[in-house]
Chains A and B, each alone.
Chain A
Amino acid sequence: MRSPSERPALEVRDLETRIDTKLGLIKAVDGVSFSVDHGETLGIVGESGSGKSITALSILRLVPKPAAYIARGQVLLDGEDLLEKSETEMRKVRGKRISMVLQDPQTSLNPVFSIGFQVVEAIGMHADAPRKTLVRRAVEALRRVRVADPERRVDDFPHQMSGGMKQRVVGAIALGSFPSVLIADEPTTALDVTIQAQYLRLLKDIQQETGLSIIFITHDFGVVARMCDKVAVMYAGRVVEYGPVREIFNSPAHPYTKALLNSVPAVEEDVDRLYSIKGQPPAFWDMPEGCRFEPRCDVAMQRCKTEYPNKFARASTGSGAHYADCWALEEPEWIPSRS
């Protein structure tokens, strides 16, 4: 589902978020760029600590203060730079135009307020309507995420609900004001598999109905294959490979992406040992000078130790840009990219 508008729903350009830690100033997000079109789903994939969640929080300008701050870049929502907005203006963006679902439904809801209070509040923040109307809308929002018997459920408290049901409520909170972009930060990691499938289906359905753009943060390639149109692979604070989901799966370019795909066990093959990437991701306060993946890379060259790779784009792609940061791509099929 493509919108006629040329402009992406959300575009992040050269975003850098720093965190002041005891071990020094680190760049948790280091020059990250990507974009999501209307009705499109972008997957952000990477190991824990690769900067996925901080990227998401940076978009909403909710990085933990005062240690973390956004040092440079642009976050363009329908062409407007969110980084130039005042805090008051940002509040009208959060929950209204960009929303977010967090990882753990068990802790995402406030235990001392009823479900109704929390959904009504989310809607009421962005709508000037009498309470009765807000309650009605909250019930509708809960029905949209398929909470059974929402009229009665509004009086319940989080501890009276299952994990899957709570995550639906979080979904209702996120989608209650019909945002154009939803950031889903590993929303199904804490759910069991059947509930997970239901939840993904639900997000897909809502996307089809409303033309919602989704940024889906995950480390699960199965979820990526099912949900996403595009993928950004993050490693140590940078997007190392970016492209259409089909290309990423069929012809991954970056050794890290290849390694990640290799670590997903195939069902047909009878493997004794599961593949795992050797070594650990580099510590943020001790970044390699050159390519950040070099110490763990099988095809590393001398140059990789000293110089961070250029961005190489696939010379001819029909289905959208595909590029990767790797020196091994200096071959005719790939051309240096300016972006």
Chain B
Amino acid sequence: MKRNLVIRSLQSLLALLAISVIAFAMSHLTGSPVDAMLPDDAGPEEAARLTKLWGLDRPLYEQYFVFLGNALQGNFGDSIKWQGQTAFGLVLERLPATIQLGGFAIVVSTIIALPVGVLAAVYKDTPFDSAGKLVALLGQAMPNFWLGIVLIWIFAVHLNWLPTSGRGGFSHMVLPAIAMGWFQVAAFMRLTRSAMLEVLDSEYIKLARIKGVPERRVIWVHALKNAAIAPLTYFGVIAGSIFTGSVVIETVFAWPGTGLLAIDAIRGRDFPVIQAVVVTFAGVFIVANLIVDTLYAYLDPRIRYQ
């Protein structure tokens, strides 16, 4: 088990390293930042001076190691667009807003999707199951940016129940969380349902009933602990997609988080900030999956004793 975790952690580090290469390469693919930075009337001496100053004349691998060394210390350089602020500082400043919204969306969608998925399996082919399927279908069919706009149009513009955008109290979180979470509720619910259906059909569930275990316990203890493995895998994915999804949702709802920062940075060709965002997102994604791997072992002894 411990060995497993060590191996997985090392793999995670490797993944992070690969991402750092991509993030680094990104800034070099679109041409020299010098051209982007200098005014049009600057001469070649000026360009050469800047190139030397920023170390762009050195070999690429050397530049990469400098980048990596700095990145490890949380230093992605200064923002180009937001003068006087460090790229990583900007990300850290915006991160709480993203975590607040994303965390809220994850928690609420899990609280809804898990029990509904379980009950849809238990009451298979009943109106409850059909209603669940419909909700899931809608959630998976509607693109989240479109859903966000429609939600704003109905609940903020027409009904005037909730604010259209921005970060504020609880009421500000409702619409973006729905727009973000509906798809996850759908996917999570369907996964739970199919996993439960398979488990409920198994011999050990039959044996639990033969033992005289009450049906409620059969479902929520015996079956769910087995069925939880598939949705848990997915949990690692959604935890990540909350961040990638934040890029779209935060833009639609003008939510001042990392996602919106990423979009603004891309518009301003602010590479240090983009790099900082990418590496941070990747880090969060990898940590989420590491947690999921640990939880697996807790759920399934066959993994624990490998």
Are A94 and B302 interface neighbours, CB within 8 A? no
Q: Is A95 an interface residue (CB 8 A)?
A: yes
- What per-residue 1/0 map shows which CB atoms of B181-222 lie under 8 Å from chain A? 000000000000000000000111011111111100000001
Q: How large is the interface on B (under 10, 10 to 19, 20 to 34, 35 or more residues)?
A: 20 to 34
With a CB–CB cut-off of 8 A, which chain B residues contact A93? 212
User: Which among B214, B299, B305 is the interface contact of A160 at CB below 8 angstroms?
Assistant: B305
- What per-residue 1/0 map shows which CB atoms of A147-170 lie under 8 Å from chain B? 000000000010110000000001
Interface residues in B229-284 by Cβ distance below 8 A to A read none
Are A125 and B203 interface neighbours, CB within 8 A? no
The stretch among A108-116, A209-217, A224-232 that forms the contact with chain B is: A108-116
With a CB–CB cut-off of 8 A, which chain B residues contact A159? 301-302, 305
With a CB–CB cut-off of 8 A, which chain A residues contact B226? 110-112
With a CB–CB cut-off of 8 A, which chain A residues contact B213? 91, 121, 125
**If the complex has contacts A112-B226, A157-B305, A159-B302, are A102 and B203 also in contact, measured as CB distance less than 8 A?**
yes
User: Which among B206, B299, B302 is the interface contact of A157 at CB below 8 angstroms?
Assistant: B302
With a CB–CB cut-off of 8 A, which chain B residues contact A258? none
User: B222's closest neighbor in chain A, by CB?
Assistant: A110
**If the complex has contacts A110-B222, A112-B301, A159-B301, are A94 and B203 also in contact, measured as CB distance less than 8 A?**
no
Bound-state Cα–Cα, A104 to B222, Å? 18
What number of A-B contacts does a CB cutoff of 8 Å give?
75
User: Which among A94, A108, A109 is the interface contact of B209 at CB below 8 angstroms?
Assistant: A94
Cβ distance B244 to chain A, nearest Cβ, rounded Å? 32
Are A94 and B202 interface neighbours, CB within 8 A? no
Q: Is B93 an interface residue (CB 8 A)?
A: no
Q: Is A296 an interface residue (CB 8 A)?
A: no
User: Which among B211, B225, B299 is the interface contact of A121 at CB below 8 angstroms?
Assistant: B211
Are A108 and B301 interface neighbours, CB within 8 A? no
Interface residues in A256-310 by Cβ distance below 8 A to B read none
Q: Is A139 an interface residue (CB 8 A)?
A: no
Max chain A CB contacts within 10 Å: which of B202, B213, B225, B299? B213
Interface residues in B159-197 by Cβ distance below 8 A to A read none
Q: Is A313 an interface residue (CB 8 A)?
A: no
Q: Is B46 an interface residue (CB 8 A)?
A: no
Cβ distance A188 to chain B, nearest Cβ, rounded Å? 15
User: A93's closest neighbor in chain B, by CB?
Assistant: B212
Cβ distance B271 to chain A, nearest Cβ, rounded Å? 48
Are B302 and A125 interface neighbours, CB within 8 A? no
Are B211 and A125 interface neighbours, CB within 8 A? yes
Bound-state Cα–Cα, A185 to B206, Å? 12
Bound-state Cα–Cα, A174 to B209, Å? 11
Are A111 and B301 interface neighbours, CB within 8 A? yes
User: B126's closest neighbor in chain A, by CB?
Assistant: A66
With a CB–CB cut-off of 8 A, which chain A residues contact B300? 111-112
Are B299 and A112 interface neighbours, CB within 8 A? yes
With a CB–CB cut-off of 8 A, which chain B residues contact A94? 209-212
Q: Is A96 an interface residue (CB 8 A)?
A: yes
Cβ distance B5 to chain A, nearest Cβ, rounded Å? 19
Interface residues in A83-122 by Cβ distance below 8 A to B read 91-96, 99-100, 102-104, 107-114, 121-122
Are A91 and B214 interface neighbours, CB within 8 A? yes
With a CB–CB cut-off of 8 A, which chain A residues contact B202? 107
With a CB–CB cut-off of 8 A, which chain B residues contact A62? 206, 209-210
Cβ distance B17 to chain A, nearest Cβ, rounded Å? 35
User: Which among B207, B225, B301 is the interface contact of A102 at CB below 8 angstroms?
Assistant: B207
Are B301 and A125 interface neighbours, CB within 8 A? no
Bound-state Cα–Cα, A95 to B211, Å? 4
Bound-state Cα–Cα, A121 to B226, Å? 17
Cβ distance B210 to chain A, nearest Cβ, rounded Å? 5
Are B207 and A170 interface neighbours, CB within 8 A? yes
Bound-state Cα–Cα, A240 to B4, Å? 58
User: Which among B203, B206, B211, B305 is the interface contact of A173 at CB below 8 angstroms?
Assistant: B211
Are A109 and B210 interface neighbours, CB within 8 A? no
**If the complex has contacts A157-B305, A159-B301, are A108 and B211 also in contact, measured as CB distance less than 8 A?**
no
Bound-state Cα–Cα, A113 to B202, Å? 15
User: Which among A96, A111, A126, A160 is the interface contact of B204 at CB below 8 angstroms?
Assistant: A111
Q: Is A60 an interface residue (CB 8 A)?
A: yes
With a CB–CB cut-off of 8 A, which chain A residues contact B214? 91
A residues sitting closer than 8 Å to B (CB atoms) are 60, 62, 91-96, 99-100, 102-104, 107-114, 121-122, 125-126, 157, 159-160, 170, 173-174
- Could you show 25 A-B contacts with beta carbons less than 8 Å apart? A60-B209, A60-B210, A91-B214, A94-B210, A94-B211, A95-B211, A95-B212, A96-B212, A100-B207, A100-B210, A102-B210, A103-B203, A107-B203, A108-B206, A109-B204, A110-B204, A110-B207, A111-B226, A111-B302, A121-B213, A125-B213, A159-B301, A159-B305, A170-B207, A173-B207
Q: A91-B214, A95-B212 are in contact. List 7 more A-B contacts (CB 8 A).
A: A62-B209, A94-B209, A96-B212, A107-B202, A112-B225, A121-B213, A125-B212
Shortest 3 CB-CB contacts between residues of A and residues of B: A95-B212, A94-B212, A107-B203
